[in-house]
Amino acid sequence: MSISLSVNVNKIATLRNARGGNLPNLIKAVKKIESFGADGITVHPRPDERHIRYADVYDLKKVLTTELNIEGNPKVPQFVDLVLAVCPHQVTLVPDSPNQLTSNHGWNMQAEVSYLTQITQLFQNHGIRVSVFIDPIVAHIPVAKKIGINRVELYTEQYAKQFEYDPKKAIEPYIATALLAKDMNIDINAGHDLNLDNLTFFAKSIPFVKEVSIGHALIADALYMGLEKTINCYKDCL
């Protein structure tokens, strides 16, 4: 089976918000993205609503025909309220601060066992699949098993940075972490800085990954190639 592609549409909302109004139309763009073959849509609303607005998430849930993945920090009460109200297919827990430009690290799993267990159970009780954003550290996996999460999302920025110099070395910690997760019956997602240059190698190295979430690079490539061709190219990599 191929790996699922969830398209993060934050950057489309960023472009819309730059001028106010509704151009580009987020809903129209998402419908096109789905029709071109995306397996899901990812959004990461932040408290300042600088890209995806909370209202957008409600609007998207009404029209999506694929999976909805909502990313964010559950320590923000407004985020928890949103997720429980919308009930997406998946929530991805990310430990980013409110003013953070973009996510840049995973959870300190050992330090957050109690909290992550509590919030995971809350979302699962509402029928929501829970994924937790982690760095590729093998020791995190037994903790994830203890917490009872459904998936881990491997934070792939370091892989992307090292890939151009030494792909085999770059992928090593990801393979090790993913193999243990598989052995412990935890499914695997991945995301951050994956692109057309490094995605095929990643997918071939860890073919049992369930889903990758890609936004910035994909939307940037679409400026040159158009959304349909770009999505097809990413799907081909998977």
Read off the CATH number of the domain in which 12 is found. 3.20.20.70
Q: Of the listed 34, 51, 71, 153, which one is catalytic?
A: 71
Average pLDDT rounded to a whole number, residues 104-130: 92
178-197 per-position pLDDT tens digit: 999 999 999 999 999 999 99
pLDDT for residue 104: 62
One of 44, 140, 153, 211 is an active-site residue; which one?
Answer: 44
Instruction: Find the catalytic residue in 51, 140, 153, 192.
Output: 192
Query: SS3 letters for the chain?
Result: CCCEEEEECHHHHHHHHHHCCCCCCHHHHHHHHHHCCCCEEEECCCCCCCCCCHHHHHHHHHHCCCEEEEEECCCCHHHHHHHHHHCCCEEEECCCCCCCCCCCCCCCCHHHHHHHHHHHHHHHCCCCEEEEEECCCCCHHHHHHHHCCCEEEEECHHHHHHHCCCHHHHHHHHHHHHHHHHHCCCEEEEECCCCCCCHHHHHHHCCCCCEEEECHHHHHHHHHHCHHHHHHHHHHHC
Instruction: Say how many domains are in the chain.
Output: 1
pLDDT at residue 100 tops 70: no
Q: What range does the domain containing 96 cover?
A: 4-237
Reported as a pLDDT band with limits 50, 70 and 90, residue 12 is very high
Could you tell me the pTM of the whole model? 0.95
Label residue 107 by pLDDT band (50, 70, 90). confident
- pLDDT number for residue 233: 98
Active site residue 71: yes
- Does 88 have pLDDT greater than 70? yes
